[in-house]
């Protein structure tokens, strides 16, 4: 029997805002998360406990987590890069964290100044602490369909890193087309390689960028294979500072419209998502990148 329920993992407040050049006021971030909570989303990645020197935009992580209005049944994951970040996450009473690595050695070195093996070494104390405190762990794999430095990435590389994250204790593996170069057939081959490596279908998520206009097509390819977890960002916020020309994440509202047309259920109020897309876009001084927000203006 086909599973019609799809989990939407909203990344706008963290992945979407982290590369904004102008500082977004903390109060705006809090309101954005509260608005997203009101849409029916169950997973809203709120921020990252990373060094303010590395990502100044997220230097207010502790205040954001303290002041958002948390709702029962909604999870507010945070990205944690190292043991020090985990200390901040614990102090903020988080229930889920996310770890980050890549299928490309060159990208990992450029992004976090570490090899893939070194990134896992950094994870070790974080994972140990998370398990000791009953905190769920999600894993990100970047550059699954292409790298700005290495070019094409072999599906087997993605599979190996994904399985390693699974074995380390991640309950879900998010496969990210960081520079948005992938196509549907490439997406299917990559997902199949991850499955063949022993990662269960129910633990796979897709995180697609729309640089070449392929994000929805790639997501649809994943849905055809049975993937039922999709990362997206309200208003299409985001991008990759290490990937020239990489545009934002696929827009949550565009994903929701497609899923609705496929008869799939998310429990998310599309109209409220569109309103939220316009809210944050107005604050940032630009229009949403999503097609739907322009088609259905508030």
Domain range annotation of the chain: 7-295
Stated as kind and residue range, the H or E segment containing 229 is strand 229-232
What pLDDT, on the 0 to 100 scale, is given for residue 1? 39
| Coil vs helix vs strand at 174 | strand
What pLDDT, on the 0 to 100 scale, is given for residue 244? 55
240 is catalytic: yes
Q: Strand order in 204-208's β-sheet? A: 43-44, 7-10, 229-232, 204-208, 172-177, 136-142, 96-102, 78-79, 47-48
Instruction: With a cut of 80, say whether residue 298 has pLDDT above it.
Output: no
Phi and psi torsions of 99, nearest 5° = -110, 155
Structure tokens at 259: 């899923």
- CB distance 134 to 169 below 8 Å: no
Residue of higher predicted confidence among 242 and 287: 287
Structure tokens at 126: 């974080």
Placement of tokens 């509202």 in the chain: 253
109: Cβ contacts below 8 Å, ≥ 6 apart: 115
Tell me the pTM.
Answer: 0.96
Phi and psi torsions of 144, nearest 5° = -75, -15
The closest alpha carbon to 80, from 49, 58, 41, belongs to 49
Query: Tell me, what DSSP letter sits at residue 57?
Result: G
pLDDT grade for 262, boundaries at 50, 70 and 90 = very high
Per-residue model confidence as pLDDT tens digits over 176-235: 999 999 999 999 999 999 999 999 999 999 999 999 999 999 999 999 999 999 999 999
In CATH, what class is 7-295?
alpha beta
Report the percent of the chain where pLDDT is more than 90: 88
| Coil vs helix vs strand at 216 | helix
pLDDT grade for 241, boundaries at 50, 70 and 90 = low
- CB distance 16 to 251 below 8 Å: no
Instruction: With a cut of 90, say whether residue 112 has pLDDT above it.
Output: no
Query: What mean pLDDT value characterizes the chain?
Result: 94
Number of other CB atoms surrounding residue 1 within 10 Å: 3
Per-residue model confidence as pLDDT tens digits over 3-33: 789 999 999 999 999 989 899 999 999 999 9
Phi and psi torsions of 141, nearest 5° = -120, 115
Per-residue model confidence as pLDDT tens digits over 157-180: 999 999 999 999 999 999 999 999
| Cα separation, 82 vs 110, whole angstroms | 17
């Amino acid at each position: 029997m086909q599973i019609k329920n799809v989990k939407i993992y909203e990344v706008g407040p963290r992945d979407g805002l982290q590369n904004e050049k102008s500082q977004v006021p903390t109060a705006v971030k809090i309101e954005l998360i509260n608005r997203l909570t009101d849409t029916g989303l169950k997973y809203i990645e709120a921020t990252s406990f990373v060094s303010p020197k590395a990502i100044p935009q997220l230097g207010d992580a502790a205040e954001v987590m303290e002041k958002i209005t948390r709702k029962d049944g909604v999870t507010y994951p945070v990205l944690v890069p190292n043991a020090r970040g985990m200390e901040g996450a614990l102090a903020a009473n988080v229930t889920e964290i996310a770890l980050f690595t890549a299928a490309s050695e060159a990208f990992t070195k450029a992004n976090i100044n570490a090899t893939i093996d070194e990134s896992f070494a950094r994870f070790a104390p974080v994972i140990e602490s998370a398990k000791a405190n009953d905190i769920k762990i999600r894993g990100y794999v970047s550059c699954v369909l292409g790298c700005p430095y290495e070019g094409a990435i072999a599906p087997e590389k993605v599979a190996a890193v994904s399985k390693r994250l699974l074995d380390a204790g991640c309950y879900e593996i998010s496969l990210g087309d960081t520079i948005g170069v992938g196509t549907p057939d490439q997406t299917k081959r990559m997902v199949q390689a991850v499955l063949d490596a022993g990662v269960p279908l129910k633990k796979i998520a897709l995180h697609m960028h729309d640089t070449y206009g392929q994000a929805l097509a790639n997501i649809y390819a994943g849905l055809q294979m049975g993937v039922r977890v999709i990362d997206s960002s309200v208003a299409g916020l985001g991008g990759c500072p290490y990937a020239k020309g990489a545009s934002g994440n696929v827009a949550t509202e565009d994903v929701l419209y497609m899923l609705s047309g496929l008869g799939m259920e998310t429990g998310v109020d599309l109209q409220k998502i569109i309103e939220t897309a316009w809210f944050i876009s107005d604050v940032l001084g630009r229009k949403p990148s999503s097609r739907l927000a322009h088609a259905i203006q508030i």
